Structure 1
Amino acid sequence: MTASSLLSWLLDSDPALRWQVERDLMHEPEHVWGATRERVVTEGFGARLLAAQDLDGQWAGGAYFPSDFSEDLFHQEGQPWTATTWSLNALREWGAPPSAIAGTADKLAANSRWEYDDLPYWGGEVDACINGYTLANGAWLGAEVTGIAEWFVTHQLPDGGWNCEWVEGSTRSSFHSTLNSLFGILDWELITGGTDEIRAARRTAEEYLLERELFRKRGTGETVGDWVTEFRFPFRWSYSVLRAAGYFRAACLADESAPDPRMGQAIEMIRAAEQPDGTWLQAGRHPGRVWFEVDVPAGEPSKWLTFHARRVLDWWDGVHGEDRTPPED
């Protein structure tokens, strides 16, 4: 595709994606993308998910899992994506304003408990990824979640990151857990202003990924797994160099800093996955219950992945003075 036809293809999408294309790829003025963003809560994915909310503020009757889910179903179906935390993640990432679910923070404080030890929702859990999501969602909805932010300081592992299996005795950080934690901390900082202590923890964890060039084992230099270049949308909990690069783009913009050159090879891995027509292919959806599908099946060109990849490359190439966009019509 040419640049204009690729943009036309991306614009022919749900408002949850379209407004981000307008803002981040087309650089339209705020009144343009803002008007599209307002449609997220009245039509398409956002409206459908809002309509599924329970009267008690939850989705599917549970905090992380649906109320009717069991260990047997987990082994049969995989991780479900319909409960409260995943639904809040989606609405926040799609750009829905907190006013669209006014009162939800208070309802969850009163009615929602974690499946682990019946802990209160806004107090967080023991899982680093869950706490990252809850920190971001709490900041977005105006809940008091400073305690979760401080949890990340006291539970940061000696190598600089986090691992959701620390309660099982793990002492080495996980790429997945560290990235999910970083997203939550950054979102909380952007809304609250953060603290020096928590900002220092964030930068230590960023260094954990950067010294591994976003995809290597520190000791051997080998790739940590094939999953680093398996680009799936929705991203859910999983790590990839695309999702990691998207985080560092957001962090650099927030910190008004230049991208670290150690990201260079990961950026080229993203670029190498671009198809001749300028799109990126869906590697496959994560199995498990969903309210509805928001992207294409495996092997098809994904508008969401194409947007995320194009945004990262535009940012990186813009900083480095490179222009690799397709020609105009």
Structure 2
Amino acid sequence: MSWLLQGDVAIQYQTHRDLLDADRPDLRARIAREGWGKQLLDQRNPDGSWGLDFYRPKWTSSHYTLLSLKGLAIAPDQPIIRESIARILAGYKAVDGGIGCSRGDRKSDVCVNGMVLNYASYFGAPADDLCSIVDFLLCEHMKDGGFNCQSNRSGAHHSSLHSTLSVLEGIHEYARNGYRYRLDELQTAARRSREFILLHRFYKSDRTGDIISKRFLMFPYPPRWYYNILRALDHFQTAGAPYDARMQDALDSVADKCGKDGLWRREAAVPGKVFLVMEAPRGPSRWNTLMALRVLKAYGNAA
């Protein structure tokens, strides 16, 4: 715990909030003025964007920078962030009602729109600006309970854990911030989506029991759009989902990654240009240690 409290102010704030059950608004206010939060805000262009466009280049785009700022738990009442989101919601609406990756897109991406709903809800976007995104996501909800970013493109017969988790995080943030439009339908979709993840025991085939992808057991930070079991378990505990025996394999896998020093490592980074490297790859990770501890706090004694 003392090691976490020596980290960036965003880590300090979330450690107090999530592990020590102490509200520290003074720490939260500092996230915009120092450390990782300030570094990301300082990269904002004069026109309110980051990078070259809403979705270019990948990790330095407005989209992923806003997602990172939300992940830091920066105070949501940031006027410049709200202005940037307003420009995105006004300028990148696709024909299908979602947010397109480029201006004038006819089709939008399910996974991207789950992430947009996540940070736009967190930063208090006007409810009317989110309605068409909600409509789009509910239209793409699949029969097996989850979501797949190919459902409105090449077609899909089975949901994707990547897309399902991104949409789940968006629905949770939407509900937590008091939005009401089609909320009952969204919460029903969220329950079915969590059941989809549980059916797969977080990382296994529901038919064979084999590991779907070894990447699901790796913990880079930030994860971007990529699914992994720690990110998924962190969503479940944030959403207040009760313990389910089908979590246990994933919980055991997370616990097994704890080193003898009580810390979790950061594994290989998602490749691509970035504004800052928060933690050295393969070294001790405050982010992963923080997330693992809050997951184990919620579920570690439940089995």
The answer to whether the Cα contact below 8 Å between 1:233 and 1:282 also exists between their aligned partners in 2 is: yes
Spell out, residue by residue over 1:47-84, the C-alpha distance to the aligned partner (whole angstroms, 9 max, x if none). 11111112222111301113xxxxxxxxxxxxx30010
Spell out, residue by residue over 1:297-326, the C-alpha distance to the aligned partner (whole angstroms, 9 max, x if none). 2x2111111111111011112555xxxxxx
Spell out, residue by residue over 1:266-311, the C-alpha distance to the aligned partner (whole angstroms, 9 max, x if none). 11111111111111111111110101111122x2111111111111
CA distance in 1, matches of 2:200, 2:115: 24
The answer to whether the Cα contact below 8 Å between 2:100 and 2:108 also exists between their aligned partners in 1 is: no
The yes-or-no answer on 1:307 pairing with 2:285 is no
SS in 2 for 1:266: helix
CA distance change for structure 1 residues 217 and 275 in 2, over 3 Å: closer, same or farther? same
CA distance change for structure 1 residues 200 and 115 in 2, over 3 Å: closer, same or farther? closer
SS in 1 for 2:147: coil
SS in 1 for 2:2: helix
Residue type of the alignment partner of 2:56: F
Deviation at 1:162, TM superposition (A): 1.0
The yes-or-no answer on 1:169 pairing with 2:151 is no
Residue 24 of structure 1, aligned match among 13, 18, 25 = 18
- For 1:273, the equivalent position in structure 2 comes to 257
Residue type of the alignment partner of 1:59: W
Q: Percent identity, please.
A: 30
Any unmatched runs of 5+ in structure 1?
A: 1-6, 67-79, 321-329
What is the root-mean-square deviation of aligned Cα atoms in Å? Answer: 2.0
The answer to whether the Cα contact below 8 Å between 1:57 and 1:108 also exists between their aligned partners in 2 is: no
Any unmatched runs of 5+ in structure 2?
A: 94-98
CA distance change for structure 1 residues 38 and 54 in 2, over 3 Å: closer, same or farther? same
Residue type of the alignment partner of 2:148: N
Deviation at 1:94, TM superposition (A): 0.8
Deviation at 1:198, TM superposition (A): 1.2
Deviation at 1:97, TM superposition (A): 2.3
5 Å-filtered alignment, 1:235-314, equals 235-252=223-240, 258-297=242-281, 299-314=282-297
SS in 1 for 2:193: helix
Residue 86 of structure 1, aligned match among 64, 74, 99 = 64
The answer to whether the Cα contact below 8 Å between 2:100 and 2:107 also exists between their aligned partners in 1 is: no
SS in 1 for 2:211: coil
CA distance change for structure 1 residues 170 and 38 in 2, over 3 Å: closer, same or farther? same
CA distance in 1, matches of 2:120, 2:263: 34
Q: Return the TM-score normalized by structure 1.
A: 0.83
Deviation at 1:44, TM superposition (A): 0.8
The answer to whether the Cα contact below 8 Å between 1:60 and 1:83 also exists between their aligned partners in 2 is: yes
The answer to whether the Cα contact below 8 Å between 1:63 and 1:85 also exists between their aligned partners in 2 is: yes
The answer to whether the Cα contact below 8 Å between 1:82 and 1:289 also exists between their aligned partners in 2 is: yes
Q: Return the TM-score normalized by structure 2.
A: 0.89
The yes-or-no answer on 1:224 pairing with 2:212 is yes
Residue 211 of structure 1, aligned match among 191, 199, 207 = 199
In the alignment of these two chains, the number of paired residues is: 290
CA distance change for structure 1 residues 55 and 232 in 2, over 3 Å: closer, same or farther? same
- For 2:49, the equivalent position in structure 1 comes to 58
SS in 2 for 1:280: coil
